[in-house]
Structure 1
């Protein structure tokens, strides 16, 4: 009796363990939920998902949601997208939102958008409810040299057909900034931009800046326009300062050259004076040699002395006259 009881308990334990393993490997409750929702998914299909390392709930629950929304989606495509690394639930939600908004979006395109790294549901929502992108402050200089600072708000709508391969928000902001700089730079005066800020919007919209992007620009509104610095005057001041420094450098160069020339002339004068002194020192010796050799007589020597004395007297008188005239000029 006791042996039979032990055998029954042992068998019961084995049955419980087997059922636990079975229910953990085969999602029976998920299968029952799918059948209750009118979606037939075979147990073999669920077991195959387990073998393919697919979480059945991530396939079956989006499938139930899609079938309830009236979408023609089969389980094979959902499994393929999951194995490719996509977000099945997000794709199904995007398809349902697109169907409700009468947007032509098929599963293949939605899966491609999701695999491209973009949020397909957000894209569909942005197609229905446009998004406002605010640009940073863009600084540009008008022709009169005044800096104009502009901030714009760009209203965009997602373009489903260009989401794959299309540029993002950064490109839109960069292109709008380029249009602002072009418009302000071509204005003859900053007052034109202040009086007509819509000229910026018109110029930017006319350029078709949404080409090649994942968005369609609906409108561009100028949120704020401010006046910055007088860049033209600052540049003129900087140029004048640079010209001044160049002129000072050239003047210093000329002064240095003049000083060098003066030093050179002084050296030459000193050299000439030395030669004159040397020549004057040789005159008495030459006179003595002339007297000894008879080439110069005594009377000639006296006459030469008289001429030299007369010359010194004239120089002395001439110096007095010049000093007197300078003194009279100072008194006058």
Structure 2
């Protein structure tokens, strides 16, 4: 055998062993960093190997988050959730631990919730864990909410003109199927408020509402106000209802005052027209008097012209009258 070939082979083997040693040393350093995580995953049967932990760090995925989430899922009986799904959700900017907690809560409450649906809800910016908790334990919304709208009551006017001030409490639970793209609490509050005001306005008199406030709640529930929203209305309770102003009487007073002002304006218009007509008649009288004076001034002139023309002569008769005929 050629000694040069032997030396080349030895160099190649040495380089290969050195490279392998460097990689093995790097792996040991990384593995020693995540040894406790791997041990926890191994003990809890999370089935996450050391190579997976190292590759997570290379992909800029926090192994601590994924291991904790995987352990929670396995211990809760959700072993079908893979590590790859958790890594993909983490890289997409989602909250992996909150998502797994929501799936565990839905599983324990016997609520049908898939990983894809929960992941979409979380990536949409909704708190999926709070949504599941609200679906299990309904929450109460004040209508109106003074902290949001600065109003304490919903003001409606019955047909008899009496104003009623009402406050309602709406019990809702999350509709997970409509959580993506569904309207939020603001829409629920607005719809319930509009329904209560409309129900009060449809009553013949305010005594009907005071005698049976739940009549308003039933009318509002019958309208299906929770359609296309992220919540399902469980119940609407009228917490308080008070009598306000007599809006009908006030409007009638305002109308009467307006009618008086209109009548006064029309009377003033007629008075001004009469005064103007009076002034016109006076001016017409003066004009006619001027015509009479002018006519009277023409009489002597006409008589003088008649004398000069010989149409008139002075021939007094027995009675001392003059003959004016020719």
TM range (shorter): 0.7 to 0.9
Of 95, 98, 106, which aligns to 1:90? 98
8 Å Cα contact 2:31-2:54 kept in structure 1: no
3-state SS, counterpart of residue 157 of structure 1:
strand
Cα distance in 1 between the residues matched to 2:70 and 2:136: 24
- What is the SS of the residue equivalent to 1:226? strand
Match of 1:7 in 2: none
**Shift of residue 184, structure 1, vs aligned partner:** 1.0
| Correspondences of 1:1-332 after superposition (within 5 Å) | 22-23=29-30, 27-72=34-79, 73-136=81-144, 137-298=153-314, 299=316
Q: CA deviation at 1:143?
A: 0.8
Q: Deviations 1:25-58 (Å, cap 9, x if unpaired)?
A: 9534433332343323233322322222222222
Please provide the CA RMSD for this pair: 2.6
Supply the distance in 1 between the matched residues of 2:86 and 2:271 (Cα, whole angstroms). Answer: 89
SS for the counterpart of 1:140 is strand
1:90-109 per-position Cα deviation (integer Å, ceiling 9, x unaligned):
11111111222222222222
Distance 1:303 1:186 in 2: 99
Distance 1:101 1:281, change over 3 A: same
In 2, Cα distance between equivalents of 1:219 and 1:140: 21
TM-score by length of 2: 0.79
Given that 1:81 and 1:111 are in contact with CA atoms closer than 8 Å, whether structure 2 keeps it comes out as yes
| CA drift at 1:149 | 1.2
Q: Which runs of 5+ in 1 are unaligned?
A: 1-14, 305-332
Provide the residue aligned with 1:325 in structure 2. Answer: none
In structure 2, C-alpha distance between the alignment counterparts of 1:293 and 1:179, rounded to whole Å:
104
User: C-alpha deviations, 1:192-237, integer Å up to 9, x for none?
Assistant: 0001111011112222222222222222111010111111112222
- Matches of 2:213 and 2:114 in 1, distance apart? 42
Cα distance between partner residues in 2 of 1:106 and 1:291? 133
CA contact (8 A) 2:30 2:54 kept: no
Whole-Å separation in 2 of the counterparts to 1:38 and 1:242: 84
- Provide the C-alpha distance between the structure 1 equivalents of 2:260 and 2:31, rounded to a whole number of angstroms: 88
Query: What TM-score, normalized by structure 1, do the two folds share?
Result: 0.78
